[in-house]
Amino acid sequence: MSGFRNKERRRRVSQHPAIELVGIDKSFGTVHANKNINLKVEKGTIHGIIGENGAGKSTLMSILYGFYQADGGEIRIDGKPLTIRDSQAAISAGIGMVHQHFMLVENFTVLENIMLGAEGGQLLAKGVSGARKELKRLETDYGLDVDPDAIIEDLPVGKQQRVEILKALYRSADILILDEPTGVLTPAEADHLFKVLKVLRDQGKTVILITHKLREIMAITDEVSVMRRGEMVATRKTAETTVEELAELMVGRRVLLRVEKGEAKPGKVLMSVKNLTVKDSRGVTMVDDVSFEVREGEIVGIAGVAGNGQSELLEALAGIRKPASGEILLDGKPIAGADPARLRALGLAHIPEDRHHMGLVLKFEEYENAVLGYHRDPRYGRGALLDLKAIRAEAAEKIEKYDIRPPNPRLKTANFSGGNQQKIVVAREIERDPKALIIGQPTRGVDIGAIEFIHRRIVEMRDAGKAILLVSVELDEIRSLSDRILVMFAGKVVGEKTAEAGEQTLGLMMAGIAA
């Protein structure tokens, strides 16, 4: 294999792979997150790791970074066996990691975050000027510019991620692990990130890229490993594989990557939003004078980078947040400021963006979540008492229809995987047969198999004449489902396109560059 690498790229490549994992095993309680994992990552390559949500990717990499301790197995860096007891050991071994959920101190400056743990002396004053200089150098070398004195919480996520990368480079990492780095980026930011990663590789650094976006894997990696349910199922040269093969390896069966849907047949206007302005809890205007309409039988998608007002828009429409001004009409009736119970009664269903905070009570059993918010329905009981038998019977029906696994309405919701949790929410909202449906991030953290299923249900709802508003930060999802696309940037709808609009056009609009 190393002969192949030498031929392909004229660079010093030592005998040993940069990283070798042998028989890594890890359990969290009863969850077997990593089962006897073997992995080799060659020096000076970009190595992709893909797998469905919960496959164990983050766990494996966190073990390599010393954040978790493996229950068994061996880690070899540069051919030498190494015990990585904590992150300090990983850092000394030249490993840096950008975690899926950033590990930044939000009220610190960029500089303070970068220096944390590598201060260069007991007194901060000593290290500061050196750190500034080094930061300047990294900035010019890699095009990673950030203001060292900016406070993290004031920075957009893209910049925060840069700080994470800079943290690793500042500690002179030779091996850089990135855990789902593009989820929070605009397409343009993602492109820039990939350029940086290529520069790093060409300097001889080793990059491990975790993602669930197959397109990214094909575009940038040299090799790719696939994980499924805690196991490492395959490693391929990127040039020798296809998206279809990778998808099948990930899920364990053939999957349809494209959504199949016919022409939309829009009817009358069902939901209309006029000059809506919404402020967040700090009083900052997040939705700024937004107007649009959604007709029966169409899916209107709202594209945008996370944090551009989509969440607040959804909350206002769902009755969770009171709009500052403007009108919302559902089937001609004004509903701005109505509470969620009334909206449900009027036929508006809501699949919230964040199932853990809004859609589900994780400590409840499945059947309890299956009626959450609809528990006043006379079908589920009279007066103060719930008719548990009826509720459980109905929950069992939905489990069957939506193939929720494991099929047990008495299981604690937290013990379902992300995809199945999402199905619980989707089943609850769709099965009420609403007139209009507002959907936030329908497939965030959901595995491909379940994505396919949820997408199909959404299209079926459209074909049944429902008005659907879809908000997602996944541009692919927006493009494949929506009949019309609105792009939000900085609280405003900056333009409307059809699904035919190219990714680049939409990307520029999402970045606020073009309209």
Residues in contact with another protein by CB under 8 A are 28-29, 65, 67-68, 86-91, 97, 99, 101, 103-108, 112-113, 115-119, 121-125, 167
Minimum distance from CB of 56 to Mg ion (Å)?
9
33 binds ligand ADP (CB under 6 A): yes
238 binds Mg ion (CB under 5 A): no
Specify burial of residue 483 (Cβ count, 10 A radius: 0-12, 13-18, 19+): buried
Cis, peptide link before residue 406, omega less than 30° from 0? yes
Closer residue to ligand ADP (CB): 338 or 446: 446
The enclosing H or E element of 477 equals helix 475-481
The enclosing H or E element of 470 equals strand 467-471
Closer residue to another protein (CB): 6 or 69: 69
Instruction: Give the integer Cα–Cα distance in Å for 53 and 360.
Output: 18
Closer residue to ligand ADP (CB): 51 or 148: 51
Closer residue to ligand ADP (CB): 33 or 214: 33
Instruction: Write out the E strands in 143-255.
Output: 175-179, 206-210, 223-228, 231-237
* One-letter amino acid for residue 115 of the chain: M
Minimum distance from CB of 393 to another protein (Å)?
32
The two structure tokens encoding residue 421: 């949790």
Which residue(s) pair with 46 in the sheet? 207
443 binds ligand ADP (CB under 6 A): no
Instruction: Work out the number of other CB atoms within 10 angstroms of the CB of residue 89.
Output: 15
Which residue(s) pair with 365 in the sheet? 412
Minimum distance from CB of 418 to ligand ADP (Å)?
8
Instruction: Work out the number of other CB atoms within 10 angstroms of the CB of residue 128.
Output: 17
Minimum distance from CB of 385 to ligand ADP (Å)?
35
Q: Which residue is nearest to Mg ion (CB)?
A: 58
62 binds Mg ion (CB under 5 A): no
Q: How many residues bind ligand ADP (CB under 6 A)?
A: 11
Site string for ligand ADP, 40-69 (x = CB under 6 A): -----------x-xxxxxxx----------
Minimum distance from CB of 12 to ligand ADP (Å)?
33
Closer residue to ligand ADP (CB): 15 or 30: 30
- Out of another protein, ligand ADP, Mg ion, none, what residue 65 binds, judged by CB under 5 to 8 A for its kind, is another protein
Instruction: Give the integer Cα–Cα distance in Å for 302 and 475.
Output: 9
Instruction: Give the integer Cα–Cα distance in Å for 77 and 21.
Output: 9
The CA–CA distances, whole Å, from 225 to 44, 59, 64 equal 16, 15, 16
Instruction: Give the integer Cα–Cα distance in Å for 26 and 234.
Output: 19
Minimum distance from CB of 134 to Mg ion (Å)?
30
Instruction: Give the integer Cα–Cα distance in Å for 388 and 404.
Output: 20
The position carrying tokens 């919404």 is 278
- Out of another protein, ligand ADP, Mg ion, none, what residue 33 binds, judged by CB under 5 to 8 A for its kind, is ligand ADP
Site string for ligand ADP, 271-310 (x = CB under 6 A): ----------------------------------------
58 binds Mg ion (CB under 5 A): yes
Minimum distance from CB of 443 to Mg ion (Å)?
15
Q: What letters, b where the CB count within 10 A reaches 16 and e where it falls short, cover 334-352?
A: ebbebeeeebbeebbbbbb
- Out of another protein, ligand ADP, Mg ion, none, what residue 103 binds, judged by CB under 5 to 8 A for its kind, is another protein
Minimum distance from CB of 142 to ligand ADP (Å)?
26
Q: Which residues contact ligand ADP (rule: CB under 6 A)?
A: 28, 31, 33, 51, 53-59
